[in-house]
Structure 1
Amino acid sequence: MGEKELAELLHLVSRRLRHGYVHRLVPLGLNPGQARALRALGAADRPLRMVQLADELRIVPRSLTPVVDALEESGLVRREVDPANRRSTLVVLTDAGRAMAERAREARREAGESLFAVLSQDQRDQLSDLLSAVDAQFR
């Protein structure tokens, strides 16, 4: 199998994974960007400034604003003035947001389980090791 074929295959599998994930997020009322923001806030285990969250998500801060607006409207996050810098806004994960982040994490896990169900555990472990080796070169 050539390199181009491998890249195309990986792209197709990634698209299927994303589709399965999105399908599971819809009933939660989330899109992938919102789920990523909740995951980043949960992983930080502390409120993040808008600019820090944008950096974590590798997006520009102005692209984050509608994501945070939607999460705030749903009661999953709230904005607070940063006491350390009154010009900065903190994004605070609410209890409902923490619970939703867990539900989104479960949706992602289920999408992966469904997609990779055709593989044995040994094959999954091997695939994980191979993809981790590829990913490691970019860290």
Structure 2
Amino acid sequence: MTSPLVLMLLETAKALQDRLEEALKDVGLSRAKMEALQQLVRAGEPMPLRALAEGQRCVPSNMTTLIDRLESEGLVRRVDDPADRRSVRAELTPLGAERAAAGAEVLVRVQEEFASSLPLSEQASLRRILASLHPE
């Protein structure tokens, strides 16, 4: 039997994920697409698909499918990997960088709206409580 506290945490996380997913639709992205674009933005250079998959904790075949979608939308392109002829890297296109920036604005807005439902003092308390549950 799952504890009521654990259920509340899971339901709250799911509610936030749902809000983020819905808001990202306004800029033509899903959370998975946004996460891949953010990885490429942070890297500042083309990344091997395997590294992208590791960053999202998914199997390489899932990342290949995601990159296929991003490429068909003009958000990334595949480029040869100079270190390994058998491998390719994903590179952000200008449109992909634009869409990633728009998605980042959406994420900030939704996160601020979500957090603003609690007074600042309660936000600080919640951060302390959550940090004690997950000390990493």
Q: What is the TM-score normalised by the length of structure 2?
A: 0.88
For residue 93 of structure 1, what is the aligned residue in structure 2?
Answer: 92
Assess, with a 3 A threshold, how the Cα gap between structure 1 residues 127 and 44 changes in structure 2: closer, same or farther.
farther
Counterparts of residues 35-114 of structure 1 (less than 5 Å): 35-114=34-113
Query: What count of residue pairs does the alignment treat as equivalent?
Result: 135
CA distance in 1 between counterparts of 2:91 and 2:128 reads: 35
The gaps in structure 2 that reach 5 residues or longer are none
For residue 18 of structure 1, what is the aligned residue in structure 2?
Answer: 17
1:103-123 Cα distance to aligned partner (Å, 9 max, x none) = 212222222222222211232
The gaps in structure 1 that reach 5 residues or longer are none
Return structure 1 stretches of 4+ with deviation > 4 angstroms. none
Q: Which amino acid aligns with 1:83?
A: P
Q: Which amino acid aligns with 2:84?
A: N
Q: Which amino acid aligns with 1:95?
A: P
Helix, strand or coil: the match of 2:74? coil
Helix, strand or coil: the match of 2:67? helix
1:27-66 Cα distance to aligned partner (Å, 9 max, x none) = 2111111111111111222211011111111100001112
TM superposition shift of 1:133: 4.3
Assess, with a 3 A threshold, how the Cα gap between structure 1 residues 19 and 78 changes in structure 2: closer, same or farther.
same
CA distance in 1 between counterparts of 2:89 and 2:29 reads: 21
Assess, with a 3 A threshold, how the Cα gap between structure 1 residues 120 and 59 changes in structure 2: closer, same or farther.
same
For residue 120 of structure 2, what is the aligned residue in structure 1?
Answer: 121
Task: Name which of structure 1's ranges 21-30 and 51-60 shifts more when overlaid on structure 2.
Answer: 21-30
CA distance in 2 between counterparts of 1:63 and 1:105 reads: 23
